[in-house]
Amino acid sequence: MSEADILIVGSGPAGCTAAIYAVRAGFKTLVLNGEAHGGQLVRTHELENFPGFILPLSGYEVMEAMHKQCARLGVQFAAETVVKIEEHAKPFVVHCEGGRQITARAVIVASGSAQMWLGLESEKQFFGRGVSTCATCDGFFYRGKTVCVVGGGNKAFEEALFLTKFCDKVYIVHRRDAFRADKAEVDKARANPKIEFMINSVVHAINGDDKGVSSITVRDINDKSLREIALSGVFVSIGTTPQTDFLKGSSVKLTARGHVLVDAKNHTAVPGIFAAGDCADEYHNQAVIAAGAGAKAAIEAVKYLNERPGGAKQP
């Protein structure tokens, strides 16, 4: 069985920042990546609101720098997905997909969040063949085509604006007539001649054949009328859900939406288990906030270990 002093679940901004603080306090620090090394930020083509960079960088560049910083400091990474934490064991036993078990004296959960889906059968059918959740990853394939982005938050607007670089036309389909996105993003989209808004509308069906998506059917939520729009790509951007399934049934308490319940110091209901970032924050899903929370969680984890009998800092 492998061992860590502080085991961190997730290698996004929260996990990496926690790792920097944990390893610099002298603890053997192991970060488990899960399926998305670098987390959600690697999907951002232009990160302009992370302090310290004069010009925008891609999310990938920022996360690569964080990973290199972690590695230089001695943080270890492993491509493992956590399926369960034995929270009553001391040290904790972290179970990974595939059967690997790792003991840890403290755990920081920084497992972020994942894309929410529309819930249409056709969405699964056409995923990767016209349905995408990442304009940065897939936008290039839609050069000269018509696509839609479904959603009304900042991410949806960012995706739509990015897609105008490749596509001839981008519809923004949104169920209400008001947007959660910042006014600045909405104004940019309104000023872009390639973007057309379909408000008070939901995607009723995604249509196509073996070759991929050919149209969507949109339902007007007021008069219930249906309208078919010819297009080649559907980018779903309707929000995220916390990746905390591996904690269900444990003593770590979750909110009704599945976020880890933490106190002001990022402690969970289980002493020695901390949480930070999007998985524990229902309201502010931003990289700098996740990074700050990761730092807080690690400071608390270090304090927890240093205060425990036999838990003093490693030499």
Ligand X SMILES: Cc1cc2nc3c(=O)[nH]c(=O)nc-3n(C[C@H](O)[C@H](O)[C@H](O)COP(=O)(O)OP(=O)(O)OC[C@H]3O[C@@H](n4cnc5c(N)ncnc54)[C@H](O)[C@@H]3O)c2cc1C
Catalytic residues: 134, 137-138
Six-digit token pair at 26?
């002298």
Does 49 interact with ligand X (rule: CB under 6 A)?
yes
Residues in 124-163 that interact with ligand X by CB under 6 A: 155, 158
Give CA–CA dist 276/244, Å, rounded.
12
The reply on whether position 266 binds ligand X by CB under 6 A is no
Comparison of 37 and 194: residue with beta carbon closer to ligand X: 37
| Residue from 239, 288, 292, 308 binding ligand X (CB under 6 A) | 288
The stretch near ligand X (CB under 6 A) out of 104-112, 168-176, 185-193, 214-222 is 104-112
Crossing angle for the helix pair 13-24 and 59-73, nearest 10 degrees? 20
User: For ligand X, how many residues bind (rule: CB under 6 A)?
Assistant: 39
Q: Cis peptide leading into 91, omega within 30 of 0?
A: yes
Q: Do 171 and 203 touch, CB atoms closer than 8 A?
A: no
User: Given the complex with ligand X, which of 12 and 91 has the nearer CB atom?
Assistant: 12
Nearest to ligand X of 44, 201 (CB atom): 44
Query: Could you give the count of Cα atoms lying within 13 Å of 29 in the half-sphere of its Cβ?
Result: 29
- Piece in contact with ligand X (CB under 6 A), picked from 30-38, 174-182, 204-212, 267-275: 30-38
Q: Which of 7, 39, 216, 305 binds ligand X (CB under 6 A)?
A: 39
| All residues at 6 or more sequence positions from 139 whose CB lies less than 8 Å from its CB, including other chains | 162, 163, 165, 166, 167
Query: Measured from the CB of residue 114, what is the shortest distance to ligand X in angstroms?
Result: 8
Question: Whose CA is closest to 301, among 55, 10, 20?
Answer: 20
CB neighbours of 40 closer than 8 A, spacing ≥ 6?
Answer: 12, 59, 112, 113, 240, 278
Residue 14 binding ligand X, by CB under 6 A: yes
Comparing every residue's Cβ against ligand X, the nearest one is 112
CB of 61 to ligand X, least distance (A): 13
- Side chain identity at residue 205, one-letter code: A
Residue 278 is a binding residue for ligand X (CB under 6 A): yes
* Contact pick of 23, 30, 32, 247 for ligand X (by CB under 6 A): 32
Q: How far is the CB of 16 from ligand X (least distance, A)?
A: 7
Distance (Å, whole) CA 160 – CA 198? 13
* Closest separation in Å from C-beta 240 to ligand X: 7
- Are 195 and 189 contacting, i.e. CB atoms less than 8 angstroms apart? yes
Binding of residue 41 to ligand X (CB under 6 A):
yes
Beta bridge partners of residue 267, listed in sequence order: 274
Task: Please give the residue ranges that form the binding site for ligand X (CB under 6 A).
Answer: 9-15, 32-37, 39-41, 43-44, 47, 49-50, 81-82, 110-113, 155, 158, 243, 246, 277-279, 285-288, 290
